[in-house]
Structure 1
Amino acid sequence: MNTTATSPVLASEHTMSERLPDYVLPKIPLDLLTAARGRAWVYPNRSLSFLLGGDKRVGKRFNWRRPYFTVADGVLHCVVPPGQDYTHHYAELLRAACAMTDLPAEITVERPVPGQGLAFVDHWLPRNLPAHDLAILGYVEPLLTRPPASSTDWNHHPGFGWRTARIGRSTALLLGCEFSFWGDLAGDLVTALITRGHTSGVLYVGKLGGLQPDMEPNTVIVTGTTSQVKGRPLSWKSALDLDPALPGLHDRARHITVPSVLDETRTWLEQHRAHFDVVDPEIGHMALAATTAQVPFDYLHIVTDNLNGTHDHGLYAERSTPVATRRRRCLHHIETILHRSLA
């Protein structure tokens, strides 16, 4: 456990600029942070009962659980899933929120012990998951619901939900998660799935940030076979059928993995955009877990924000009608690639 005095990321220093508060502040209970006078303790817990984040979001089957906040003895307790990147991300959110509301920040961070994230995922992952040719993670609800795919109904278990889709002779496990498997916890999920024998391949469908100015949010799909994880390069082979290419598809994206969106400062962007095209917290960890187990891995992601700040849409405004319409078009292209690759 350590109490850090790291300087918070200011809006003027971040790639979101003046929109940074729109991203940060909705994630933090400002009334509780104010009551604690900026004193907070971020720590992991394996219980799903702590991952509430308020009432279940209406209409959301997955990704609705959020870290738990409460004030005890004058300290704001922030309880997160046991991921290294989870604790880092929420500590940075709290520091930024304190700076934005003129509160002094005293943030104590308790990191999960090695193996705690894998034990957490393995505990909640349903035991009765069948084995499939491919496990699809992330943005799974709208995928493989139209012919020629045939799909089962959703099965639910605390923490997860799943259904099976068949295309030709191939079967896919579409696995949804009630909590966000942020950062290194995503790698633990891949490890658990492979170790248990639930799949012989992994595909991650999600969203990420673009480093190149011409990547217009919610119009571009990216995939690739390289990432940088904790400063080390990683490469793998793709199992996707990308021929012929679809509109807006970038298939040789150079990816870099970072622990938190708050790390994506203007200085960071200047240092990395000549060498990388896209960034997110999970892809590198998932690829590393899969390649270590000698299992194929791919990703198909929608660029949802551009770090250069040259476009209207970003992580701070994701639920508008134009964004939803564009993303549906991208998901249709992703599904087309899945049909080709599984048939």
Structure 2
Amino acid sequence: MGASLPRYLDLKVHQAVRERAYDGITVVGAYRRTYPSTIFQGEKRDKPFNWQRPTAQIINNHLYIECFPGYDYVEHYAGAIASFLGIQQRQGGMLTPPSRVSFQPASCSDTQTALKATNICEFPERVDIVVLGMVHRMERLIGPVDWAGDGCFAWKVRQFNGRKVAFLGFRPAFWGDISGEVVHYLASRCGVREVLYLGKLGSVKKGLRPNTLLATGGLSYVRGQAVEWENVLEGSVARVAQACTVTGNHLTLGSVLHETKHWLATLPSSVDFVDPEVGMMAQAAVQSGIRFGYLHIISDNVAEKYDEDLSNERMRSVLTGRSKLYEVVQDVLEHHLSSVVGRSP
């Protein structure tokens, strides 16, 4: 992220981290939104999903930062805090040595337990297809906003060509392995047969300007292993969005903070995109025997510097570019959902 990193971190770090030095700061997997935990003041509550951020609690001069349980999310946030404090110290913004930062790894079972404690248990039965991610931007397909579900999750169910399609939003973050566990749950507990993921990712190839193109594909490298699947959106992308979509190979990385110059230099030439979720969702879908596809906005370019990146996503030019791409995403989804055959008995 280079010179944009301080601005990115400034948007993410809980205010309690800035207030003073502690005996230590530990990032843990815990979902708490009530006293004595304190809410992050920078939460963007003007959107329905992906706005709940880690909370904080002080116990005996030790600061605990509470993330929705997931190994990647906990590790990422600990790295963000450590990087933020290191930058502050180097810039002379701290009069005392920064607090020591650590994290308690969250296991798959921790994530599963946390998910089961949410209102996902109320998700409707016999849904054929679930659309995850930026579902609130699919206004044309969803229709009037009347989200069902009061809790972490909310959804809207519609019929497309004889199939029940649920647009499922998550108020915390679908970060890394959390997203894979959500797919596992939907397949094993709810009988979902197909998952579509709409989000954003970074390019690792030069020449792809952020917020002007979409990305899709059927392969992701997850912890060094290639995960392949049949991209269910491939035909619809070719039909209605080929001019503004790049098809390529993806690499799953748990944190944007791992996207260093050394990391980029050692990447295989076959890799085109990077984000924390696509491979986790795809792996879960393959393991569960269900279909999967993703269509993401290229929101950042790790290989070369552009004015638009993850630190200024509310710039007018960013919002304008993404609004145009959301329309294309809806064209692709509408074509795909209208083409699939109905549920078999």
TM-score (norm 1): 0.89
Instruction: Name the % identity.
Output: 28
C-alpha distance 55-155 of structure 1, shift in aligned 2 (>3 A): farther
CA distance in 2, matches of 1:188, 1:305: 26
Supply the distance in 1 between the matched residues of 2:288 and 2:198 (Cα, whole angstroms): 20
Aligned length: 325
Is the aligned partner of 1:193 residue 2:180? no
Cα separation, 2, equivalents of 1:58 and 1:264: 28
CA–CA separation in structure 1 for the residues paired with 2:149 and 2:42 = 18
Cα distance, 1:35 vs structure 2: 1.2
Matched ranges for 1:37-56 at <5 A: 37=22, 39-49=24-34, 52-54=39-41
Q: Deviations over 1:175-231 (max 9, x none)?
A: 011100211010011111111125210000000101011111001101100001111
Aligned counterpart in structure 2 of residue 101 of structure 1, from 88, 95, 99 = 88
Q: Moved runs in structure 1, 4+ residues, more than 4 A?
A: 149-152
Q: Closer, same or farther in 2 for the Cα pair 1:51/1:140, shift >3 Å?
A: farther
Deviation at 1:88, TM superposition (A): 0.7
Q: Return 137-146 or 203-212, whichever deviates more.
A: 137-146
Q: In structure 2, what is the equivalent of residue 118 of structure 1?
A: 112
Deviations 1:19-55 (A, max 9, x none): 1101112211356345125831111114454584238
> CA–CA distance in 2 between the matches of 1:201 and 1:258?
23
The match for 1:270 is: 265
The one-letter code matched in structure 1 to 2:328 is H
Aligned to 2:285: 290
Distance 1:105 1:150, change over 3 A: closer
Please, which of 4, 7, 11 is the counterpart of residue 26 of structure 1? 11
Report if the CA contact (8 A) 2:215-2:297 is conserved. Answer: yes
User: Structure 1 CA distance, aligned partners of 2:146 and 2:206?
Assistant: 41
The Cα shift of 1:332 comes to: 0.8
Q: Give unpaired runs (5+ residues) of structure 2.
A: 90-96, 339-345
Alpha-carbon distance between aligned partners in 1 of 2:303 and 2:268, rounded to the nearest angstrom: 10
Distance across 1 between alignment mates of 2:38 and 2:175: 13
Report if the CA contact (8 A) 2:21-2:98 is conserved: no
Let me know the Cα RMSD of the aligned residues.
2.1
1:141 aligns with 136
Name whichever of 130-139 and 43-52 sits farther off. 43-52
How much has 1:321 moved relative to structure 2? 1.3
CA distance in 1 between partners of 2:45 and 2:279 (Å):
32
More helix by share: 2
1:135-194 deviations in whole A, cap 9, x for unaligned? Answer: 000000121525xx7677311321111001223323310001110021101001111111
Quote the Cα distance in structure 2 between the aligned partners of 1:161 and 1:208. Answer: 23
Contact kept in structure 2, 1:133 and 1:200, CA below 8 Å = yes
Partner of 1:3: none
For 1:42 and 1:152, the matched residues in 2 are separated by 35
Q: Cα distance 1:231–1:138, how it changes in 2: closer, same or farther (>3 A)?
A: same
Give the gaps of 5 or more residues in structure 1. Answer: 1-15
1:320 CA drift (Å)? 1.2
